[in-house]
Amino acid sequence: MNPKELIARRVAKELKDGDVVNLGIGLPTMVANFVDHDLDITFQSENGMLGLGPVPELGLEDYDLSNAGGRPVTMTIGGVFFDSATSFGIIRGGHVDATVLGSLQVDEEGNIANWIIPGKMVPGMGGAMDLLVGAKKVIVAMQHTSNGKPKILKKCSLPFTAVNEVDMIVTELGVMEITPQGILLTEIAPGVTVEEIQAVTEATLIISENLKNMEN
């Protein structure tokens, strides 16, 4: 399975009936494609939308309808639009049950760096800082390494987006939870060993007594 699809499928299993969920740009937007149809999940975008649907099929995109990253989206029946002030009122008011974000780095304290590499041009912070602090649950969905270098570190070396806010990390290699003791590995991808995951993780992983195969 494509690594990004594997990650998106696993993240989708974390969403609960009735949740209001924000999906960050890139990989996180794929999560909407794999949500159980029996669940009532409302997707939110910080540019002023509630009720986003799956990613549009290739060739059927409506470029007048886009998320905060400028990517085409679909809307479900009953979806609504509003201004940015209202949107950030929803986020800062604690009304988003979960946010799913990509990241450049995450560390064992739950710190996250996902908005800038110094010296490189970037679009800006966007709503990430507000989402990390305002959402009830923060899930990082990202590939485990970048050009072979670990992205899960003892301490982020890039500028923080938020401090001590990440709850869970899902990569193509496993599922990890941030605990007061460090990063707890709870699920492992089939065919991958704990030693292989640790070899590409700078932070020292705590192995769950109930470690199981990663769901997909």
Q: Which helix (H) or strand (E) holds 5?
A: helix 3-12
Average pLDDT, the chain: 94
Q: What are the strands, taking DSSP E only, across 13-167? A: 20-23, 42-45, 49-52, 75-81, 98-101, 105-107, 112-113, 137-141, 145-146, 149-150, 152-153
| Rounded percentage of the chain residues whose pLDDT exceeds 90 | 85
Helix (H, G, I), strand (E, B), or coil: what is residue 184? strand
Mean pLDDT value of segment 101-111: 97
Q: What is the pLDDT of residue 215?
A: 83
Rounded-to-integer distance, Cα 47 and Cα 88, Å: 9
Phi, psi of 6, rounded to the nearest 5 degrees: -60, -45
- Residue 84 predicted with pLDDT over 80: yes
Question: 70: pLDDT confidence band, cut at 50, 70 and 90?
Answer: confident
- Residue 188 predicted with pLDDT over 90: yes
Q: Determine whether 46 is an active site residue.
A: yes
Q: Write the pLDDT tens digit of every residue in 17-39.
A: 999 999 998 899 899 889 999 99
Rounded-to-integer distance, Cα 79 and Cα 93, Å: 20
Helix (H, G, I), strand (E, B), or coil: what is residue 197? helix
- Residue 123 predicted with pLDDT over 70: no
Rounded-to-integer distance, Cα 163 and Cα 133, Å: 9
> Which of these is catalytic: 5, 14, 46, 195?
46
Q: Which CATH architecture has domain 3-213?
A: 3-Layer(aba) Sandwich (3.40)
User: What letters, b where the CB count within 10 A reaches 16 and e where it falls short, cover 1-34?
Assistant: eeebebbbbbbbbbbeeebbbbbbbebbbbbbeb
Q: What is the pLDDT of residue 141?
A: 98
Per-range mean pLDDT, top range of 28-32, 113-117, 130-134: 130-134
Q: Give one word for 208, left, alpha or beta, with left for phi > 0 and alpha for psi -120 to 50.
A: beta
- Residue 121 predicted with pLDDT over 80: no
Q: Write the pLDDT tens digit of every residue in 41-65.
A: 999 999 999 999 888 999 999 999 9
